Amino acid sequence: MRLALYHPEIPQNTGTLLRLGACLGVPLDLIEPCGFVPSDARLRRAGMDYAELAKLTRHPSWEDFLLFCETQRRRTVLLCPRAKVSYLDFSFTPQDTLLLGTESSGVPESVAKIVDARVRIPMHPGRRSLNVAISGAMVLSEALRQTGLMPL
């Protein structure tokens, strides 16, 4: 199981997700470019000392990330508010990489079209989306639970 961030814009969210990955033993993929520099103090503050424990792989482009997933035989599962399938009804596998889009606009349609699967978090009507770090934590928890990979 992995967590991937597509062109993250907000360092605090990235730091929070680095901390989540470190605490749950889930590697993170950072798909560049980012809207901040890796030395940003806000990223360090949100990640605290856990960010240093995170297993982080930086990919200079979407194409490099795709090649990585292909060579690792990983399935890419996009969290998308427009997806038809709820993450609660989806069958995750240990080889899944959960893909989170940018905070402001998600992922481009060209990316959404080629992922292996899309899932959504059910919400009350009229609500657009949750914070990306909250969304990642919710779906990752369910994926780890389903696959038996949640740390004891």
CATH number of domain containing 143: 3.40.1280.10
Considering its fold, how many domains does the chain have in total?
1
Q: How far apart are CA 134 and CA 152, in angstroms?
A: 21
Higher pLDDT, 50 or 116: 116
Report the b/e string of 9-35 with b at 16+ CB within 10 A.
bbbbbbbbbbbbbbebebebbbbbebe
The pLDDT tens digits of the residues spanning 107-130 come to 999 999 999 999 999 999 998 889
Which residue in the block uniquely carries the two structure tokens 């200079």?
Answer: 60
Provide the residue range defining the domain that includes 27.
2-147
Residue 50 within any structural domain of the chain: yes
Residue 152 within any structural domain of the chain: no
Q: Which of 93, 91, 54 is nearest to 72 (CA)?
A: 93
Beta strands 28-31 and 2-6, pairing class = parallel
Q: Please, which pLDDT band fits residue 50 given cuts at 50, 70 and 90? A: confident
| Full-model pTM | 0.93
